[in-house]
Amino acid sequence: MDGLSASEQRELASRIEKKQMKEFMSMYSRLVQRCFDDCVNDFTTKSLVPREEGCVLRCVDKYLKSSTRLGERFQEQNATMMQSGQLPSR
């Protein structure tokens, strides 16, 4: 970003922010769909029954923990590859 003008930097930052928001919303949508499909199956009441609520809580917890772990592993692998010279530095 050093070679960019102030307006180009603002434009780039805006685009990055929009992309991050889109990715977050996509992840959130997948989480909701996955946990709903796996846990909610009683449509006779308008609220979750205790069994469904527990399932949703476990599902969300597992999804978030696995996403966090996946991100950590990706960072570890990236650092290892950078140290061994397998990725070009910029």
Q: How far apart are CA 8 and CA 29, in angstroms?
A: 31
User: Among candidates 31, 40, 17, 29, which has minimal Cα distance to 67?
Assistant: 31
Residue 73 has pLDDT above 80, yes or no: yes
Spatial separation of the C-alpha atoms in residues 56 and 41, rounded to whole Å: 12
User: Considering its fold, how many domains does the chain have in total?
Assistant: 1
Residue 89 lies in a domain: no
Q: What is the pLDDT of residue 32?
A: 95
Q: Which domain holds residue 14?
A: 6-80
What's the whole-number mean pLDDT along residues 46-56? 96
Tell me the C-alpha distance between 15 and 23, whole Å.
Answer: 12
Q: Residue 2: pLDDT band by 50, 70, 90 thresholds? A: low
Whether the pLDDT of residue 87 is over 80: the answer is: no
Say if 42 falls within a structural domain: yes
- Whether pLDDT at 1 is above 70: no
* 25 within a domain of the structure (yes/no): yes
